[in-house]
Every structure is written in structure tokens, then in C-alpha cells.
């Protein structure tokens, strides 16, 4: 039976370092069930006072929902079930906001959640950021980052009356995945062609693919964090950056 190994990191952008603001990104990755990978990234809105807390809540609660679902079944959740997961997240955010006597929008955050089993995947996507999947020799982007009406705006889990959720499903064998927040979009996606930047992904997965271990690769997580905070990356983006890399062994 195949399994997965992964590395992930969330790194504060240089603009937030200068401003003394916490990292607004969050990310989680684990096996939510037998041979079912759950990878999630979220980016708290820069205009939200508690965007980072919102992103952490989104990742944590969606992962809890995935664990509970796959503890009872190996089948992918239905659209109705996925919407119920969002209801749980929004209720948790509403409670957190009420405890501070503020509105939920102060916890605004995006969502990219990828569930991958043996021969299929399900993607939940709200706002920007993206997921890239490798199937055979192709690097696929099932759902493109979505921006709002104005520049540098997007959509969030907390939007009213309902979040702008995109659900994408596919029946294919996925051998590697990458999830990332909008701070890395221009490095990893070719906006002119609407495709993933294949040479980048072909190179960055090398150490993970070569590692014989399974599960979370702690040393590679540290190396990934150093790379995301390198001068080469920071020259191209001053935003917070989250990246999850996972390969099927």
C-alpha cells in the first residue's frame, strides 16, 4: 500500500517583519485516514486584525472535520458534507469573535484544502493561493487563484452571506502535490499561460522524493523554511509564504 511523505513551512514576509506583525499564514498536513492525505493552507487577510488567528482556526477545524469523516469511511465527502465543514469553521470563528466583542470579518482568511486518496482528489478553494498536482508527467492546477473586484483583494471563509467556495473533483492517480498561499503565486504559477511553473516543481520535490522516510520530514521542513526566507525568494515577494510539498511513496 502506498503512503505519503511531506514537508511544510509558513514563513513571515519581510513586510510583516518590518512592521512587527505576526505571520498571517497557517498550514497543516497529515494522513486524515488510511491512505488519505489532507493538506490545508490559509492566509489571513491583511486588513483583518486577527487574520492570522483566523487562518489557524480554518486549518485546524477543517483538519478535524477531515479526520472525523475519514474515521468512518474511505469515500470522499459529498458537497453537502463539505459545506457543513465550512459551517463548523464559521461557527468557531463567530464564537472567537464574540469572545472579543468584534465581528467575524476580523478573522477573515482564505482556504485551500486538498484531499487525496488512491485514485481521486477533492479540492476546496476560497480566495487566492492554489494547489498543484502531479499526475503522470503533468503538473495540474485544478483551481486558479481568485481575486476580488479590486487589486489585491480576494474572498474569505468569513464572507457574508456565504463564502465563495469552489469544489473541484478528479479521478486520477496523484503522485505529488503542492499547496501554497498567495505570497508564492507569482513564483510558482505562470499567469501568462495559466499553467504551473513546471521546472520549479520538478526541482523542489527532489529531496522529498529521494528521502526514504514516510510522514512528516522534520529536517526537510526546516530546510523548506530556510528556503522560503532566503534572499532569492524575499527579493520577489515581501508577503507571508506557506508551502506544503507531499509525495506518494
Residue 100 reports pLDDT greater than 70: yes
Query: How high is the pLDDT of residue 2?
Result: 67
Distance from the first to the final alpha carbon of the chain: 9
| Region of poorest pLDDT, from 3-7, 18-22, 23-27, 166-170 | 18-22
Query: How high is the pLDDT of residue 47?
Result: 81
How far is residue 128's CA from residue 43's CA, in Å, rounded to a whole number? 9
DSSP letter string over 59-107? HHHHHHHHHHHHTT-SSPPPHHHHHHHHHHHHHHHHHHHHHTTS-GGGG
Tell me the pLDDT band of 19, cut-offs 50, 70 and 90: confident
Residue 162 CA neighbour count, 13 Å, CB half: 6
Contact 233, 3 (CB under 8 A): no
Tell me the pLDDT band of 35, cut-offs 50, 70 and 90: confident
Query: How high is the pLDDT of residue 194?
Result: 92
Dihedral, 173, 182, 81, 64 alpha carbons, nearest 10? 90
How far is residue 58's CA from residue 215's CA, in Å, rounded to a whole number? 22
Which carries the bigger pLDDT value, residue 152 or residue 196?
196
pLDDT tens digits for 154-207?
Answer: 999 999 999 999 999 999 999 999 999 999 999 999 999 999 999 999 899 999
Q: Which domains does the chain have, with CATH numbers?
A: 4-248 (3.60.40.10)
How far is residue 235's CA from residue 153's CA, in Å, rounded to a whole number? 22
How far is residue 114's CA from residue 121's CA, in Å, rounded to a whole number? 7
Q: What are phi and psi of 37, to 5 degrees?
A: -85, 135
Residue 1 reports pLDDT greater than 60: no
Model-level pTM greater than 0.85? yes
Angle between helices 79-99 and 51-70 (to 10 degrees): 140
Residue 147 reports pLDDT greater than 90: no
How far is residue 19's CA from residue 247's CA, in Å, rounded to a whole number? 36
How far is residue 92's CA from residue 104's CA, in Å, rounded to a whole number? 10
Query: How high is the pLDDT of residue 150?
Result: 59
Q: What are phi and psi of 218, to 5 degrees?
A: -60, -40
Tell me the pLDDT band of 249, cut-offs 50, 70 and 90: confident
Amino acid at each position: 500500500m502506498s503512503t505519503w511523505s511531506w514537508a511544510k513551512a509558513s514563513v513571515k514576509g519581510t513586510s510583516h517583519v518590518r512592521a512587527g506583525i505576526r505571520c498571517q499564514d497557517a498550514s497543516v498536513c497529515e494522513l486524515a485516514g488510511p491512505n488519505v492525505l489532507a493538506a490545508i493552507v490559509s492566509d489571513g487577510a491583511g486588513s483583518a486584525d486577527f487574520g492570522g488567528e483566523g487562518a489557524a482556526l480554518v486549518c485546524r477545524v477543517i483538519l478535524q472535520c477531515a479526520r472525523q469523516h475519514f474515521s468512518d469511511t474511505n469515500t470522499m465527502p459529498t458537497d453537502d458534507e463539505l459545506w457543513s465543514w465550512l459551517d463548523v469553521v464559521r461557527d468557531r470563528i463567530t464564537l472567537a469573535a464574540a469572545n472579543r466583542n468584534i465581528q467575524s470579518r476580523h478573522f477573515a482568511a482564505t482556504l485551500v484544502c486538498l484531499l487525496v486518496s488512491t485514485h481521486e482528489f477533492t479540492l476546496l478553494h476560497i480566495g487566492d493561493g492554489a494547489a498543484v498536482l502531479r499526475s503522470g508527467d503533468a503538473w495540474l492546477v485544478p483551481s486558479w487563484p481568485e481575486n476580488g473586484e479590486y487589486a489585491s483583494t480576494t474572498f474569505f471563509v468569513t464572507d457574508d452571506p456565504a463564502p465563495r467556495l469552489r469544489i473541484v473533483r478528479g479521478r486520477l492517480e496523484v503522485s505529488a502535490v503542492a499547496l501554497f498561499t498567495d505570497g508564492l503565486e507569482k513564483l510558482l504559477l505562470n499567469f501568462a499561460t495559466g499553467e504551473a511553473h513546471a521546472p520549479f516543481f520538478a526541482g523542489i520535490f527532489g529531496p522529498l522524493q529521494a528521502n526514504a522516510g514516510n510522514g512528516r520530514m522534520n529536517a526537510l521542513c526546516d530546510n523548506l523554511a530556510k528556503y522560503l526566507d532566503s534572499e532569492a525568494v524575499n527579493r520577489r515577494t515581501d508577503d507571508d509564504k506557506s508551502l506544503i510539498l507531499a509525495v506518494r511513496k
